């Protein structure tokens, strides 16, 4: 399974970027550590049946090119972890997948649909691509149950009884049946995050995106959320997970993408990235994270 991935670094483009047309915001460390010529095919061979395919993704904010050329894919049922230092473009990349940001160039494919196309029905897309944020984003005036029910009524158009039944089932799955009537302010951060996960799962998404879902939590609460994410991965959910949780990335992922300076700097199996990365910068970053 993990072996079917290829390196997603588009060396041709990266060399262009790192050569005469060097963008101002690629860090020195990236410039000084070019991709080895061997072992990094110029193009990512993307299996057409991979549920998410990101090709030559570029994102510019004003004068600032935040994503230069991002290429990777995620087959159905796999977990891809995305690692990288602050500002490397992880959130921007993730947000492009469900059009919270509009890609400047490149292609994002979800199943057989080109996401960044004028024809995309954004609400329908977001129902199929669930997203969990660092800051939960729950409605403060609604109970846990109310938060999970809302999109079931508004987007899936379930009636009151059906929405309640589905919401209860999802809260039960994340271990929060006994907190259904609590408001977000009455929940711990870990519980609030599990409500946010239940809310996303209630839409029956085909893919789940997690953007540092545990970073805002007290260390004591991280485990419950990671356990829910591990169970979800075991159940076969396709997941793209931006995380600083190295043990999670190593144990749960099929594939690890390391981003730096708006490019996929290196990617591969967890064994490769953690045990024998090709590039010094990858090793240095991971060492720093593990020693934290
Ligand atoms: N809406 C925006 N407008 C302008 N610049 C932005 C915007 N969103 C992000 N950026 C810039 O894009 C770069 C990448 O940001 P991004 O949030 O994607 O990084 P990240 O890898 O998720 O970092 P962190 O680990 O801190 O969450 C940063 O330099 C940031 O300032
Ligand atoms: Mg981020």
pLDDT tens-digit map of 61-90: 999 999 999 999 999 999 999 999 999 999
- Give residue 281's pLDDT: 94
Q: What percent of the chain has pLDDT over 70?
A: 85
CB-proximal residues (5 Å) to ion ligand 2: 91
Rounded to an integer, the average pLDDT of 223-232 is 95
Rounded to an integer, the average pLDDT of 182-205 is 96
Q: Which helix (H) or strand (E) holds 39?
A: none
User: 271: how many CB neighbours lie within 10 A of its CB?
Assistant: 11
Top pLDDT among 170 and 1 is at 170
Judged on CB neighbours under 10 Å (0-12, 13-18, 19+), 154 is exposed
How far apart CA 17 and CA 38 sit, in angstroms, is 19
Q: Is 215 in the pocket of ligand 1 (CB under 6 A)?
A: no
Report how far ligand 1's centroid is from the alpha carbon of 21 (Å).
22
Top pLDDT among 39 and 73 is at 73
What's the pTM value of the predicted model, to 2 decimals?
0.86
Strands 238-242 and 79-83: parallel
Query: Does the pLDDT at position 158 exceed 50?
Result: yes
Query: What pairs with residue 264 in β-bridges?
Result: 259
Choice among 3-12, 42-51, 168-177, 211-220 with the minimum mean pLDDT: 3-12
- Give residue 157's pLDDT: 93
User: 134: how many CB neighbours lie within 10 A of its CB?
Assistant: 16
How far apart CA 271 and CA 286 sit, in angstroms, is 12
Q: Is 87 in the pocket of ligand 1 (CB under 6 A)?
A: yes
Q: How confident is the model at residue 196 (pLDDT cuts 50, 70, 90)?
A: very high
Query: Does the pLDDT at position 221 exceed 50?
Result: yes
> Which residue is closest in CA terms to ligand 1's atom 28?
87
Query: Does the pLDDT at position 167 exceed 80?
Result: yes
Report how far ligand 1's centroid is from the alpha carbon of 66 (Å).
7
Top pLDDT among 151 and 238 is at 238
Rounded to an integer, the average pLDDT of 112-129 is 94
- Give residue 82's pLDDT: 98
Rounded to an integer, the average pLDDT of 32-40 is 36
Query: Where does residue 79 fall: left (phi above 0), alpha (psi -120 to 50 degrees), or beta otherwise?
Result: beta
Query: Does the pLDDT at position 2 exceed 60?
Result: no
Report how far ligand 1's centroid is from the alpha carbon of 228 (Å).
27
pLDDT tens profile 11-26: 333 333 333 333 334 4
Query: Does the pLDDT at position 34 exceed 80?
Result: no
State phi, psi for 106 to the nearest 5 degrees. Answer: 100, -175
Mean pLDDT of the chain: 86
- Give residue 147's pLDDT: 97
- Give residue 46's pLDDT: 82
- Give residue 30's pLDDT: 41
Rounded to an integer, the average pLDDT of 167-176 is 96
Distances (CA, A) of 6 to 3, 44, 98, 107, 231: 8, 6, 24, 18, 27
User: 14: how many CB neighbours lie within 10 A of its CB?
Assistant: 22
Rounded to an integer, the average pLDDT of 108-122 is 95
Rounded to an integer, the average pLDDT of 130-147 is 95
Report which of 95, 92, 31, 29 is spatially closest to residue 60, judged by C-alpha positions. 92
Ligand 1: which of 89, 133, 216 to mutate, most ligand atoms within 8 Å of CB? 89
Report how far ligand 1's centroid is from the alpha carbon of 92 (Å).
6
Q: How confident is the model at residue 33 (pLDDT cuts 50, 70, 90)?
A: very low
pLDDT tens profile 201-215: 999 999 999 999 999
């Amino acid at each position: 399974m993990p072996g079917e991935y290829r390196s997603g670094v588009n060396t041709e483009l990266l060399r262009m970027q790192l050569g005469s047309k060097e963008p101002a915001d690629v860090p020195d460390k990236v410039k000084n550590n070019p991709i080895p010529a061997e072992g990094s095919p110029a193009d990512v061979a993307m299996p057409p049946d991979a549920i998410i395919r990101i090709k030559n993704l570029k994102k510019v904010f004003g004068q600032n090119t935040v994503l230069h050329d991002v290429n990777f894919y995620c087959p159905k049922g796999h977990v891809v972890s995305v690692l990288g230092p602050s500002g490397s473009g992880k959130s921007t990349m993730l947000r492009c997948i469900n059009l919270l940001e509009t890609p400047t160039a490149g292609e994002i494919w979800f199943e057989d649909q080109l996401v960044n196309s004028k024809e995309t029905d954004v609400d329908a897309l977001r129902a199929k691509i669930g997203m969990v944020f660092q800051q939960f984003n729950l409605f403060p005036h609604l109970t846990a149950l109310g938060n999970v029910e809302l999109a079931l009524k508004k987007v899936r158009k379930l009636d009151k009884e059906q929405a309640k039944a589905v919401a209860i089932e999802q809260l039960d799955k994340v271990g929060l049946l006994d907190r259904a009537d609590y408001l977000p302010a009455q929940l711990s951060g870990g519980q609030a995050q599990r409500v946010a996960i239940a809310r996303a799962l209630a839409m029956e998404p085909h893919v789940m995106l997690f953007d540092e879902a545990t970073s805002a939590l007290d260390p004591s609460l991280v485990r419950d959320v990671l356990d829910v994410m591990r169970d979800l991965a075991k159940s076969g959910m396709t997941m793209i997970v931006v995380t600083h949780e190295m043990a999670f990335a190593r144990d749960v992922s099929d594939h690890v993408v390391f981003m730096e300076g708006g490019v996929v700097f290196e990617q591969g199996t967890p064994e490769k990235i953690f045990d024998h990365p090709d590039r010094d910068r990858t090793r240095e970053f991971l060492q720093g994270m593990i020693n934290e």
